Each structure stands twice: as C-alpha cells, then as structure tokens.
Amino acid sequence: MYYGSGNYEAFARPLKPANVNSKRAYIVGTGLAALTAACYLVRDGQMKGEHITIFEKESLAGGACDGFLYPEVGYIMRGGREMDNHFEVMWDLFRDIPSIETEGVSVLDEYYWLNKRDPNYSLMRATQKCGQDGQTNGEFGLSDDGAKEIMKLFFTPDEQLYNRPITDFFSEEVLNANFWLYWRTMFAFQNWHSALEMKLYLKRFIHHVGGLPDFKALRFTKYNQYESMILPMVKYLESHDVNFVFNTKVVDVDFEITADKKQATKIYINKDGNDEQIDLTANDLVFITHGGCVENSTYGSQDKKAEFKPELKAGGGWDMWKRIASKNEAFGRPDKFCSNPEKTNWMSATVTTLDQKIVPYIEKICQRDPFSGGVVTGGIVTVKDSNWLLSWTFNRQPQFRTQPKDQLVGWIYGLFSDKAGNYVKKPMRECSGKEICMEWLYHMGVPTSEIEELATNSANTVPVMMPYVTAFFMPRQGGDRPDVVPEKAVNFAFLGQFAETKRDTIFTTEYSMRTGMEAVYTLLDIDRAVPEVWGSTYDVRDLLNASYRLRDNKKITEMKMSFIEKIVLKKVLKTIKGTDLEVLLKEHNLI
C-alpha cells in the first residue's frame, strides 16, 4: 500500500489482484469502515461479492451512523456529520456508489450539487442569555500569547505529546477565547482530552480555519447519514451479492503468531444466541472493527431518561478488542480508551417539532425559514452560558425521507452530562427527553410560563447516552492503537476509529473509511495509490491564511513583540523586499 495524490492515480483503475478468486473475506461490523472495506474489496479488489461475509451484532447496518424512526419512541439520530470536501477516500469511493435518490448519479454528485447550490454557513454561531446573540462576531478572540500557544502545539513533535492533556499546552488565554468555544463544541473536545489529537486536528484542518467561526468550511448530506451514506453502500454491496449476517456477535479471534508472520486462524461468533467457530486459512481475510464510539449507547424517550450503562459485555466491540489485544502487544491497548467513561461520555437528543409553536424561536436564531428545504442553522448553535454546554442544530429539512412535511427534526447535544441544567436543575443524564427539551427551550428564549407546555405537546424529544463517544480522544501514545495492518500480519486488519493510520484525525467519517481502504489495499496488494490525507499542512498558502485568520485578520506587524523581536522582523521584511516572499505575505494580508 502506498499513498499518492493528483489525478493520475485518482482516475486509474487498478488491475485485478493476483489470486483474488481464491480468497474470502470476513468483516466484523457494518459501520462506515467495514462497509468501505467491503466496497473496495468489490470495486478495486474485484473480489466476488459472494466471497464476502459481514457480521453485525445489531439488526441493522450503519454502526455510529444511525437515523431511524423507532415505533412508539420517535426519530433518533445519535449524531449529525459535519463533513469536508477533502475527505479524499470518501469521495474516491462515493463517486462509484449509486445514489438511491436520483437514478444515474453517484452519491458524490448528489452531495456536490446539493452543497454547490446551497452552501452551508451559519448566521448565529452562539447564543447567550436565553436566545440572544452570543456576540462571537466571527472572531477567535485570541490574545497574541494565546496564538503563540496554538502555534507551539502545532510544531511540537508527536512523541512530546504522548499521554498529555490539552491543558498542558493551552492556558486560560486559549481556553477562555471564542477559539476554544468554537473548537470544542464543533469537534467535541474536552479540556482533559489528548493534546496529540488536538495537534493532529489543527494540522488536518488548517485549510478550514477561516471557515470555523461561521461553518462555511462544512458540508452536509441531504438526509441523516444512515439514509444518505449507509443505505447506498448497503444497496451497492447487496447488488454484488455480499452476505450480511445480522444479530451476530464476533466474540473473539485466534491468531498464530511466529517471528515471521501473524495469521488469524479462527473466528468465534455468537449467532442468535448460538456459539459457532469459523476456521481460517491464509486465504481468508479478516477485517475487524474493534472498540466503538457508540458501544453501550442507550436511548430513552420523551418521558424516560437514557440510562448510563458503561459496563462492557462479551460480544461488544470493546470486549472483543480486549480479548484480541491480550494476544499480542501489536494489537493495541484498549484500556487506554475505555476505562474512564466519565471522561468519554456525552449525550445527544433528537427533537421533532409536532406543531408550529416552537418554529418561530428556531427561525429567530437561525434567521432562515426552517421549512425552505435549504440550510437552516448551518451547523451547530452553541449556548455559551449553558451548564451542559448545549449546542443544537437543524440541518436541511426533511432530515428523514418519511418525515411529515410540517415537522422539523433537529439535534441537541451537551458536553457535560453530569452538571445540573440552568432551568431544569438536574444533570442531563437524569433527564427525560421532555426535560432536555425544556432546558433547550429555556435557552432559546421561550417564556418560562410556556416552556413545559411546549416541551410536552409541541415536541417529541428522545435522549441518547453514549458512554464512549469520545473514547478516542483520551490521552494516548504510539502503540495504543493497532496499525491497520500490524507488522507481519498476512490475513487480517483492524478497521475504524481505534486503528492507527498516519496523519488523519479520528471522530471523522473519513478516518473510518480510510482504514477500510488501506486495509483492503494492503491485504490484496492492490497496485494503485491510496489518496493521501489532504496536504494543506504542507501548503504555505494555507498556513499563512490560517495565521492571519486565527489572529482575527491582523498583520504580523501588529503582533505584541519585544524590542529585539521588532528589530528582527524589520530586518526580515527588509531582506524579502522585492521578492516573491514579500508578494506572498502581501497576498495573504500579513504585511
């Protein structure tokens, strides 16, 4: 497997890999990573679909990417995906996955046209004081010292960030600035999370810094991601006769490990309550999605809280990883990620409006007609003064294909599930859907006399608790995650958010899909480049633009500097006068 970029590799079709007709594939999970692996086995590996078997412990495909109408409970989507034009693997694959909405076009075309016609941006990034403008004014609000802390982290080698929290690098200068409000609510970072991950994110999305305050950096699918992404992939795979086996837990995998090779030899499954084993040869490839950000997630209802149940059980992603990890040190250290659910949980809630009474409050904040079919909030709206650090969003409506035309379905989330609310004086994790809706309505500016009535009769709200949703953000070091294909592995790979691949950032759809592509390309030795992670961190134009935007459009000369620094800068500017370097700095407004 090797990386490449540019059109030459992007548009070439690889030759059929040697001996692929004699190989079979067993895939654990039906999340984006697993479905991507299956799609690449079919498209580029040219493996027959009937040679591919996918085991899923749940009764539906999709993993973290859900979006269903549960009878008696209501619409639920645990999350909504902020996405990017430079999710290189995603678009490499989706250009060939047929849309299930429009005949004859790909999922990529559908998404491209939608976001071209109706670009995303927010007109109100944050609120405060019950629905008033949060006065972030599109600014990052960083002091020069704060900007230097970010710069320092950006240039600190990974090894120096191992096992260290963000608070080792950012002081109150950064943590109290709008920058951190935008960042942690957009990406769900907590102050105690990994400094290494923070650095990787800064580098990965440096080209988007200017688009962070108003979300013009983002793009969204038409419907929830189950319907817009998972279903087209499942249909594509079914049309190639791939076998989906639901309600089947993969409990463990055995390996033969010698100095020369590591080979998976047996899969232990539990299907509909019955234990079975599958013996493997070197021609049987195993793709394992281990761990999981939505493992142990629970949902409540309008009148019931979502229980916090972090205990790990056999047949789940974490238990399986623990068993596998105990067999070789190259298989990672799951305990690093799943041992402290108090530090890795947060909650979301899906709210469905049932009549028109709440709509004007949404409209007042998003400043758009929520029923227009176009962008509504344009990304999350963060309630700056919420004890739960609540954010909420309504994406383009309808979010579900079956959704009634006069209803809106939106998403609320809170980063602190253990803190009492400002209006509902209970921790979010103790609240029913209705109570979460009440807290949200309070922050939207609904008069207190109307809050309970609206939350009861004008909305249906379903809470979801996710004890491990940010498990991958826990401070870590090299080796805590197994490589996608561990050294000397001949017939198995790890997939998803807890597999190690270079430079990409976890908690993204792209990360999972990348692991799927890299796994297949490595194990089948497919002779075409995997698109490298977008290289903006090496593009001086993006770096200059980010420096200008992060400092709220200030020139270098306006930076707080010591006397000596001022003299040095003067000298540098004199030296570059009349060169392309001066032109570059001027083009990016830095001088």
Ligand X SMILES: Cc1cc2nc3c(=O)[nH]c(=O)nc-3n(C[C@H](O)[C@H](O)[C@H](O)COP(=O)(O)OP(=O)(O)OC[C@H]3O[C@@H](n4cnc5c(N)ncnc54)[C@H](O)[C@@H]3O)c2cc1C
Least distance from C-beta 318 to ligand X, angstroms?
8
**Angstrom distance (rounded) from CA 94 to CA 99:** 9
Is the CA virtual torsion 87, 90, 96, 97 positive or negative?
Answer: negative
Q: How far is the CB of 229 from ligand X (least distance, A)?
A: 9
Q: How far is the CB of 92 from ligand X (least distance, A)?
A: 16
Q: Which residue type, as a one-letter code, is found at position 10?
A: A
Nearest approach, Cβ of 16 to ligand X (angstroms)? 26
Q: Is 313:521 a contact under the CB 8 Å cutoff?
A: no
198 vs 451, beta carbon nearer ligand X: 198
Nearest residue (CB) to ligand X, 292 versus 475: 292
One DSSP character per residue, 29-49 reads --SHHHHHHHHHHHHTS---G
63 vs 146, which CB is nearer to ligand X?
A: 63
The DSSP secondary structure of 440-483, one letter per residue, reads HHHHHT--HHHHHHHHHHSEEEEEEEETTTTGGGS---TTSS-B
Sorted by sequence, the CB contacts under 8 Å of residue 200 that are 6+ apart come out as: 503, 504, 505
* Residue 44: CB minimum distance to ligand X, A: 19
Nearer to ligand X, 248 or 353 (CB): 248
Q: What is the DSSP string of 368-383?
A: S-TTSSS-SSSS-EEE
- The letter for the amino acid at 281 is T
Closer Cβ to ligand X, 431 or 469, answer by number: 469
Residues 357/454, Cβ–Cβ less than 8 Å: yes
8 Å CB contact between 61 and 71 = no
CB of 82 to ligand X, least distance (A): 4
Binding footprint of ligand X on the chain (CB under 6 A): 28-34, 55-58, 63-65, 78-79, 81-83, 249-250, 289, 292-294, 315-317, 320, 348, 469, 496-497, 507-509, 512
Between residues 173 and 197, which has the closer beta carbon with respect to ligand X? 197
Q: At closest approach, how far in Å is the CB of 589 from ligand X?
A: 30
**Distance from C-alpha of 441 to C-alpha of 319, rounded to nearest angstrom:** 39
Least distance in angstroms from the C-beta of 508 to ligand X: 4
108 neighbors 147 (Cβ within 8 angstroms): no
Q: Which is nearer to ligand X, 476 or 588 (CB)?
A: 476
Determine whether 201 is an active site residue. yes
Residue that has been written with the tokens 């087209």 in this structure: 232
- According to DSSP, the residues that pair with 269 across neighbouring strands are 250, 276
CB of 216 to ligand X, least distance (A): 16
Q: Is 220 helix (H, G, I), strand (E, B) or coil?
A: coil
Separation between Cα atoms, residue 230 and residue 61, nearest integer Å:
7
Q: Among residues 82, 88, 110, 500, which one is catalytic?
A: 82
Backbone angles phi, psi at 81, to 5 degrees: -100, 115
Q: Which of 201, 423, 442, 521 is catalytic?
A: 201
Nearest to 291 by CA among 26, 64, 571: 64
How big is the chain, counted in residues?
A: 591
Q: How far is CA 146 from the centre of its chain?
A: 26
Please classify residue 574 by burial: count the beta carbons closer than 10 Å to its beta carbon, then call 0-12 exposed, 13-18 middle and 19+ buried. exposed
Q: What share of the chain is helix, strand, coil (3-state, %, to 5)?
A: 35, 20, 45
Beta bridge partners of 531: 4
Please, which residue, 90 or 359, has the CB nearer to ligand X? Answer: 90
Residue-wise DSSP of 245-263: E-SEEEEEEEEEE-SS-EE
**Is the distance from CB of 507 to CB of 188 less than 8 angstroms?**
yes
Residue 50 is a catalytic residue: no
Q: In this complex, which beta carbon is closest to ligand X, that of residue 348 or of residue 458?
A: 348
Residues carrying an active site annotation: 82, 201
